Structure 1
């Protein structure tokens, strides 16, 4: 981990992830391969980030040859998955694959205003007050550039009442990752596939990998 980063930031050192990230960066990678690479990177990140989940005995079961064994399980009822629209949708299936049981999915729609680069919320389907609040929220968003969108998502989930947030991101810029990590440092962990130094004048990570939403959904030049 780079010494300048907050302690709640984790940068993956997995060799397969690093190789796949290099493939994802290439402008020659088509939309189908982009989707696959984002899924694979998210799968590797999630396996690292969720390694501290508690496994508990949940009764017994019987193997196909008749031996009884202790059935172990993770309580997924207090976990929720929060993709940031639209590119975060590309990471949802990977996290659902890692977890042993289904979890709720609550979407947050945020975009950056072009002139100020400030986040604007246009959609939020978190349950209203009075409904059960998840203990753990897993935010998935492939890019942390300025960090303001991630920061706004963390604020929304903290206000909702979650006890812990895990952010999974394919690539981040040092300033944005730092900003997001400091928003609620005692309750948030960031797990990032790779890290770049800075941003362009328009708020894009450099060298980066472009607008991942456009690359996933072939909306480049919109």
Structure 2
């Protein structure tokens, strides 16, 4: 798996990450969602440099201009519900992409540290021979990405796979490297060192879904 770590080089994305982490700022849900959306735009721009392009002739008022345009059929898939603002950021740039949505959440059957990732909802076009961009802002254990990818197998085989995340943990990334094909690309804003005993990223930023949309009741 090819890892593209955005914060290896300083950019304005640092500011968006800092605000997402800051407990005094992240209580503003609108701002939190917008910062994730902006990072989706930044990550989408970086990802776009690795797509295939075809030369295209465009008619201007004064003549013809040659412009290379993306030549791939893209499907954007977000993992509900925290993935929605990241999805919107990517869609702002890949505005003609098809869209897919899938749910995945942690279920603690014994109310302890042990959990399983449940996938319950999927709405997707065919993925056959398309470029799949799979988005989830938090990459903790990596099991959500892996389980979702297995669920998507029924939708066909994509030509290329790009994973997009905001914050990840080294342990989860290492796990995903053993589960995804070598030609998979991971686009991630920043990488933290560890997970705590409940599998949450440290220092991380908390529960992205709750910070985006409010706390949820478990069932």
Is 1:193–2:189 an aligned residue pair? yes
Residue deviations 1:6-59, cap 9 Å, x none?
Answer: x5222113421122201110112210110111011111111112211122123x
1-structure distance, mates of 2:205, 2:216: 13
Aligned to 2:116: 118
Tell me the TM-score normalized by structure 2.
Answer: 0.87
* Structure 1 unmatched runs, 5+: 1-6
Tell me the TM-score normalized by structure 1.
Answer: 0.86
Aligned to 2:60: 63
Q: How does 1:45-84 map to 2 (within 5 A)?
A: 45-58=43-56, 60-64=57-61, 66-76=62-72, 78-84=73-79
* C-alpha contact (below 8 Å) 1:81/1:103 kept by paired residues: yes
Is 1:145–2:140 an aligned residue pair? yes
1-structure distance, mates of 2:122, 2:129: 15
SS for the counterpart of 1:106 is: strand
1-structure distance, mates of 2:91, 2:152: 20
SS for the counterpart of 2:128 is: coil
* C-alpha contact (below 8 Å) 2:127/2:157 kept by paired residues: no
The RMSD of aligned alpha carbons is 2.0
Aligned with residue 13 of structure 2, among 13, 17, 25: 17
Q: CA deviation at 1:221?
A: 7.8
Kindly tell me the number of residue pairs found equivalent between the two proteins. 209
